[in-house]
Structure 1
Amino acid sequence: MFDVEEFWKFDLRVGKVLAAERVSGSKKLIKLDVDFGSERRTIVTGIADQVDPEILVGKKMIFVLNLKPKRMMGVESQGMLLLAEEDGGRIHLIEVPDEVPVGTKVW
């Protein structure tokens, strides 16, 4: 179990996907260009085996921004997309309503 203070350390923000493309040489990775209002970041997510990149463009979703950058297949990811995953591995996107501004803090 974690103390709630541990949870508050994560910087969860609403971001809007501006562009999405498969990472060359990978079956699962998608490179996202995400707008957070005051900045844009590259986020790499491993969902290409279940989601076509094209459907991600224009969606507002929740991202973790204060993780250490991680390089995957030559692309640096500057955060993490939050998803819902069933016990069997099927994933679901968690979309944020259009009226929520990009960059909004999630808690």
Structure 2
Amino acid sequence: MELYDVSEFWKFDLRVGLVRKAEKLRRTKKLIKLDVDFGTERRTIITGIADQYSPEELEGRKFIFVLNLKPKEFSGVKSEGMLIVAETEEGRVYLLPVPEEVPEGTKVW
């Protein structure tokens, strides 16, 4: 395992976001398009977990997202962040929900 100075970690902007809407991205097997509310802004974020979770399992729930990544396009849709999940060596993905009382946009560290 490679070790990093803690200053590297602080470069990432991790925030709590509420998934307002989630829908499977057409013509793909694993991609879900999320409309995420961060309190002061909303972003579109694409996540590749549709093989293990349905859009309905994500809507109305809060999760942690990385916001300061360069935008990337998936199937013609620009993703403006990344959903944080846990993944086993076998590829099983686990959602990491945030308690309801944590406000959207709260910084995570």
TM-score, length of structure 1 as denominator length: 0.99
Q: Moved runs in structure 1, 4+ residues, more than 3 A?
A: none
Residue identity in the other structure for 1:6: E
Shift in Å at residue 55 of structure 1? 1.0
Counterpart in 1 of 2:18? 16
Shift in Å at residue 87 of structure 1? 1.2
Measured in 2, the distance between the counterparts of 1:84 and 1:7 equals 17
Measured in 2, the distance between the counterparts of 1:35 and 1:56 equals 13
Counterpart in 1 of 2:51? 49
Q: What secondary structure, in the 3-state scheme, does the structure 2 residue paired with 1:20 have?
A: strand
**1:28-43 to 2 correspondence within 5 Å?**
28-43=30-45
Residue identity in the other structure for 1:47: I
Measured in 1, the distance between the counterparts of 2:53 and 2:77 equals 19
Of 8, 25, 28, the match for 1:26: 28
Counterpart in 1 of 2:7? 5
Aligned length: 107
Q: What secondary structure, in the 3-state scheme, does the structure 1 residue paired with 2:56 have?
A: helix
User: Mind listing any 5+ residue stretches in structure 1 that lack a counterpart?
Assistant: none
Q: What secondary structure, in the 3-state scheme, does the structure 1 residue paired with 2:44 have?
A: strand
User: Mind listing any 5+ residue stretches in structure 2 that lack a counterpart?
Assistant: none
Percent identity among equivalent residues?
A: 67
TM-score, length of structure 2 as denominator length: 0.97
Q: What secondary structure, in the 3-state scheme, does the structure 1 residue paired with 2:8 have?
A: helix
Shift in Å at residue 20 of structure 1? 0.2
Measured in 1, the distance between the counterparts of 2:57 and 2:82 equals 18
Q: What secondary structure, in the 3-state scheme, does the structure 1 residue paired with 2:100 have?
A: coil
Measured in 1, the distance between the counterparts of 2:43 and 2:60 equals 15
